[in-house]
Amino acid sequence: MIKILFPTDYSATADNAFIYAMQICKNYNGELFVLHSYTSKSSYKNVGQGNPLAASDLFKDQINKMHRLAAENNLGQVPLNFFMEEGELVQSILDIVSKQDISLIVMGTTGNSGVENKILGSTTVGVINNVDIPVLSIPHLCKFQEIDAVGFTTVYDEEDALVLRKMIPYVKLANADIYCIHVNKGKEAKTQEEVVRWKLQFKQDPVYFVEKNQDDIIKAVFNFIDQYSIDMLSCITRNKSLFQRVFEGSIAEKLSYHKRIPLLTFHENMFK
């Protein structure tokens, strides 16, 4: 059974991600762990400025609300576990991940962070940068749908191969395909022979390769998303410049993509 951690700040964005997380649990026989973390500096007025009793009462109300959301979306069968922790969110997540053997974190990309003009809110970025397990970020207007095509940015190295091997069993269960995109800017670290050998290890799997010769990496990735009808984009965060630039692009690009494409990130420390 897969164990998924879902941090919530009680926002509408979080509620949307909660439904998405439950759908994943339903499809993969998963168990959902719901976490709310608060501090004495909490900005939520109705939490009583960090008052534990007020926070506890609000959390109980939210538990009832989440059970209602589950029932309304025919997801009442998904096992739910609730945790309220006083402290910083990232540390609370690290504690639960280690104690509960969590496989995946699902969270909304905006919410009460107040960073609505960015693709990934500061809270989500903080989690992605500090937690070593995969994080699935759900844009605030993204609705769950069956995944047919998963995009994956690659530089053809062993870390990429490890991620693909982890993804393939789940992608096969969903009867979907993985499309790997490599953007060639003319300075390749691998020889053509090395690239061919790297690809051969996936010849029996639903993995396809797309190469684009283009100086503008961002435009190449967005064209790739359109051309192959990508439902979910995934990457390793060691490619930090690409990671940041793709999801902090122009306003027009944001309006086109960030509201509908979930992002699955794998931290580079997973491989150390």
Q: What is the pLDDT of residues 244-271, one digit of tens each?
A: 555 554 444 444 455 678 888 887 766 6
Q: Which two tokens stand for residue 269?
A: 């420390």
DSSP of 16-66: HHHHHHHHHHHHTT-EEEEEEEE-TT---GGGTTT-HHHHHHHHHHHHHHH
Query: 169 in a domain, yes or no?
Result: yes
Looking at the structure, tell me whether residues 170 and 104 fall in a common domain. no
> Could you tell me the two tokens for 113?
């962070």
Residue with tokens 């790739």: 224
Would 28 be classed as within a structural domain? yes
The domain boundary residue, chosen from 138, 170, 195: 138
Claim to verify: residue 199 and residue 117 sit in the same structural domain: no
Residue 155 has pLDDT above 60, yes or no: yes
Helix, strand, or coil (residue 252):
helix
Contact 114, 123 (CB under 8 A): no
pLDDT digits (tens, 9 = 90+) for 17-31: 999 999 999 998 999
What is the distance between the alpha carbons of residues 240 and 243, in angstroms, rounded to a whole number? 5
Q: Tell me: do 89 and 169 sit in the same domain.
A: no
- 138, 163, 197 - which closes a domain: 138
Residue 247: CATH number of its domain:
3.40.50.620
Could you give the number of structural domains in the chain?
Answer: 2
Does residue 143 form part of some domain? Answer: no
Tell whether 169 and 100 lie within a shared domain: no
115 versus 164: the higher-pLDDT residue is 164
Asked whether the whole model's pTM tops 0.85, one would answer no
Are 154 and 133 members of one domain? no
What distance in Å separates the CA atoms of residue 5 and residue 35, rounded to the nearest whole number?
7
Q: Based on the domain organization, do 121 and 155 belong to the same domain?
A: no
Q: What was the pLDDT predicted at 237? A: 77
Predicted pLDDT of residue 145: 85
Q: Please give the residue range of the domain that contains residue 42.
A: 3-138
C-alpha to C-alpha distance for 155 and 176, rounded to whole angstroms: 22
Asked if residue 126 and residue 8 are part of one domain, the reply reads yes
Report residue 254 CA to chain centroid gap. Answer: 17
Please say which residue of 138, 169, 197 terminates a domain. Answer: 138
Let me know if residue 144 belongs to a domain.
no
Give pLDDT tens digits for 69-101.
Answer: 999 999 999 999 999 988 888 899 999 999 999
Helix (H, G, I), strand (E, B) or coil at 222: helix
The two tokens of residue 112 are 């009460």
Q: Are residues 93 and 61 in the same domain?
A: yes
Pair (13, 117) in one structural domain: yes
Confidence (pLDDT) at 253: 47
Shared domain for 130 and 173, answered yes or no, is no
